[in-house]
Amino acid sequence: MDSIYGDVITCSPRMLEPVSGAGNFSPVVMLALSCVRRQQQHPDMMVAIPLLVVCSLVFVSASAQRANGKTTKSPGPNMCMVQQVIGTNEKFFTHCVAQHLKMICERPTFLSWDCCSGYEKEEGKVGCTKVKPLGNLLETAGDLGLSQFSQHAERNNLSHTLRHEGAFTVFAPANEAFAQTTPYERSLLNPAHGSQSLLLYHVAPGKLTLDTFHARSQNFVTLYEDKRIRVNKYAYGVATVNCARIIRADETATNGIIHVIDEVVKPLDLQGNLAERIFSDDKYSQFQLALFVADMINQLHQTDRTFTVLAPTDQAFAKLPREILDLILTDANTAEKVIKRHVVRGVYCGDAIVVSVGLKTLDDSRVLFRCTRNGLYVNGARVVDRDLLATNGVIHGIDRVLLPDSVRQPTDLLDEMNVKQFMALVRRAGLEHKLNNVSNVTIFAPTDKALDELPSSAQAALTSDPLAVDKLLDYHIVKGRLTENRLIGDLALDTGLSAKIKVTVFRNGVAVNNAKAVGPPRECDKALIQKVDKVLVPTENTLMDLINNDKDLSIFQQAMETSGMSETLLRDGSYTVLAPTNMAFSYLNQWRLDEMLNDPERVKKFVDRHIINRMIVKCEIPEQGTYGIASRQGDLTVFTYDTRNQLLVNDLINVDSPDNMAVNGVLHKVADVLKCSCELGVTMSTRYQHRTSSRRHFHRLRY
């Protein structure tokens, strides 16, 4: 059929047969593979739009089929599931990966079915119903298609051993593994002068099934000069032999067991221990020096323990700032911290990672070892030299130094804490040095949302004026480390300005001024860094100053003066003032208001009802539920949110302007006056009991 697109390529069921290697895929998956294969056969030809649509639908259907678990049920007796990684030649048999993984190394997998070990298909029957008679180890290797292994066994006079002796466990390399051997490895496989062949290193006495490998790491004696081979078992049922992956396990023979592996392996003692292996490679010279400075070389000589070493190359060390590099290579304490971040207890081969795993390092931190389409990564470092074996572990070369927080600069930590706007302001003002040249401080870093909520005039000032950013930093850096042990309610923190910061501790967190601490802090030698959800604004005003300077609070200011409480709100302390606006007073009968304002005793009770002897900021109020606390007068004051997230006092009174900060507390402007319980004829305890019974989420937090 001719077309403006050239020959039209179609996807149809009749194309299924030519697809080699499809095995027993479901028809929909085979059709998808056919589409891809047919397209690959015509690389210079434009593919018709119908092909793209159909193939897309096929893959979606295949994915849905897999997600719904339809292919996880065996299509017939004695059939074993095989997971194939799309885009690679990798296959994972049922015994080698204990569960179906939809993704392996960020690549999708498809399921197919193959005859289980010892069975084969019979024409006209579903599944694998024909039982194959057991053969000896060499015959079984032939049945598995391990022709290269069989040829090397014949060439080195091992055929009699594998046919008639035993029982043995054979770790037989796949044909592809022999094709990838080096000249040195080939000389060991086929030695001159009657020496033992390296093939014997792949044979261990006894029957060792996959279930035998119960520990994370075990060593087994082999027939090769009694040298030991190391087997490791990992998550998802993955097992390795000297870091070669077992790709097909537990193939039974009359005189033993065969496990198919994907590499030809060499004795571990040919490599030396971890320290010897590292010091024999010039591209790790900086890491060698750091080991020497940290006095940790002997630890990597130990034979009774195994480790995984994540060794940064010299190029990785060259990426470090000169100051940090010099510190690592000259200061024993710093070098030890860095080395411990790069050493993990136990052996973790590259093939052990099929998804990702968190590994605990010697400094009790965790690194994420993950497998991606582009290779292996440890945190953000790429593994550039994997599976360097040693008698007491394995080494992976990486392209970045994994610096512990303790030796990093504050700006490095801030860059990872997602406070991009804060750091952009700092860099635009040229003030990175101010954050890095600190000692024993706490840095409060506002989130991006916090900076977005600033008035536009304040944002413009910070963007255009470096002095404004300098002042911002002065107020966001406090002396000392505000660790959990130092978090005390009503604590006043010294800053780089004369204005202090007040700490509030409540059930669900900590606030500094009216900003809530967000997430756990990060800490380095120079500073502790804590994210906060608001920009901290310095103030020199007392609560009474706020009242005196607000024309909308003139009536409340008069009440304060009459009551004699104005002096209290000028002094140090920690108070919350619920200040009714003039509009709130307008709802009262004028003559009763005048009468109260002229009666010092009554006005004192009124004012005390609007003052709480502790600082309560908005973020302290739970979003679900209520917060009750007694005022100075003794009445219960209840804070809550309505369905529109409006802050209320005593159910009905809107807080129109919350969190007006002062040096001695916080002022909230309210839209109504607080009625006295005595005027309502209800006692405080009765009101509280009524409120708790009628509000499902009410919980009494503090009094």
Q: What is the pLDDT of residues 271-283, one digit of tens each?
A: 899 999 999 999 9
Highest mean pLDDT among 44-53, 64-73, 127-136, 308-317: 308-317
Q: What is the pLDDT of residues 560-616, one digit of tens each?
A: 999 999 999 999 999 999 999 999 999 988 998 998 899 999 999 999 999 999 999
pLDDT score recorded for residue 186: 93
Cα–Cα distance for residue pair 266/249, rounded to 1 Å: 20
Q: Closest Cα partner for 86 from 35, 47, 41?
A: 35
Query: Does residue 23 surpass a pLDDT of 50?
Result: no
pLDDT score recorded for residue 65: 43
Query: Does residue 2 surpass a pLDDT of 50?
Result: no
Could you please report the per-residue DSSP string of 552-615?
Answer: GGHHHHHHHHHHT-TTGGGSSS-EEEEEE-HHHHTTS-HHHHHHHHT-HHHHHHHHHHTEESS-
Q: What is the pLDDT of residues 90-102, one digit of tens each?
A: 777 765 555 567 8
pLDDT score recorded for residue 270: 83
Cα–Cα distance for residue pair 581/604, rounded to 1 Å: 18
Please give the C-alpha separations between residue 81 and each of 98, 212, 233, 259, 501, in angstroms, as whole numbers.
10, 22, 20, 17, 63
Could you please report the per-residue DSSP string of 516-564?
Answer: EEEEEEEE-SSEEEEEESS--------HHHHHHT-GGGHHHHHHHHHHT
Please give the C-alpha separations between residue 111 and each of 24, 28, 73, 374, in angstroms, as whole numbers.
9, 12, 11, 23
Q: What is the pLDDT of residues 374-433, one digit of tens each?
A: 999 999 999 999 999 999 999 999 999 999 999 999 999 999 999 999 999 999 999 999
Task: Tell me the pLDDT band of 68, cut-offs 50, 70 and 90.
Answer: very low
Please give the C-alpha separations between residue 153 and each of 139, 165, 241, in angstroms, as whole numbers.
12, 14, 20
The lowest-confidence range among 52-66, 73-87, 338-352, 621-635 is 52-66
pLDDT score recorded for residue 46: 44
Structure tokens at 293: 């400075």
Region class of 430: left (phi > 0), else alpha (psi between -120 and 50), else beta: left
Query: Does residue 10 surpass a pLDDT of 90?
Result: no
- How long a stretch of residues is the chain? 703
Cis peptide before 167 (omega within 30 of 0): yes
Query: Does residue 695 surpass a pLDDT of 50?
Result: no
Q: Closest Cα partner for 664 from 543, 486, 499?
A: 543
Cα–Cα distance for residue pair 176/145, rounded to 1 Å: 11
Task: Please give the sequence-ordered ranges of beta strands (E in DSSP) within 97-227, or none if there are none.
Answer: 103-104, 107-115, 119-120, 130-131, 168-173, 203-205, 217-221
Q: Do residues 9 and 46 touch, judged by C-beta distance below 8 A?
A: no
State the average pLDDT for the chain.
86
Task: Tell me the pLDDT band of 286, cut-offs 50, 70 and 90.
Answer: very high
Query: Does residue 443 surpass a pLDDT of 60?
Result: yes
Q: What is the pLDDT of residues 158-214, one digit of tens each?
A: 999 999 998 999 999 999 999 999 999 999 999 987 789 999 999 999 999 988 887
Task: Tell me the pLDDT band of 661, cut-offs 50, 70 and 90.
Answer: very high
Q: What is the pLDDT of residues 492-548, one digit of tens each?
A: 999 999 999 999 999 889 999 999 999 999 999 999 999 999 999 999 999 999 999
The position carrying tokens 């130990």 is 302
pLDDT score recorded for residue 82: 83
Q: Which amino acid is at 148?
A: Q
Q: What is the pLDDT of residues 449-503, one digit of tens each?
A: 999 999 999 999 999 999 999 999 999 999 999 988 888 888 899 999 999 999 9
> Phi/psi of residue 77, each to 5°?
-70, 150
Domains and CATH numbers, the chain: 79-130 (no CATH), 133-265 (2.30.180.10), 270-403 (2.30.180.10), 408-532 (2.30.180.10), 543-670 (2.30.180.10)
Please give the C-alpha separations between residue 34 and each of 24, 42, 150, 585, in angstroms, as whole numbers.
14, 13, 34, 81
Interaxial angle between packed helices 590-597 and 554-563, expressed in degrees from 0 to 180 and rounded to the nearest 10: 40
Q: Taking residues 221-228, report their average pLDDT.
A: 94
Task: Tell me the pLDDT band of 115, cut-offs 50, 70 and 90.
Answer: confident
Q: Closest Cα partner for 287 from 341, 347, 329, 319?
A: 329
pLDDT score recorded for residue 691: 43
Task: Tell me the pLDDT band of 679, cut-offs 50, 70 and 90.
Answer: low
Task: Tell me the three state secondary structure of residue 168.
Answer: strand
Q: Closest Cα partner for 203 from 158, 157, 143?
A: 158
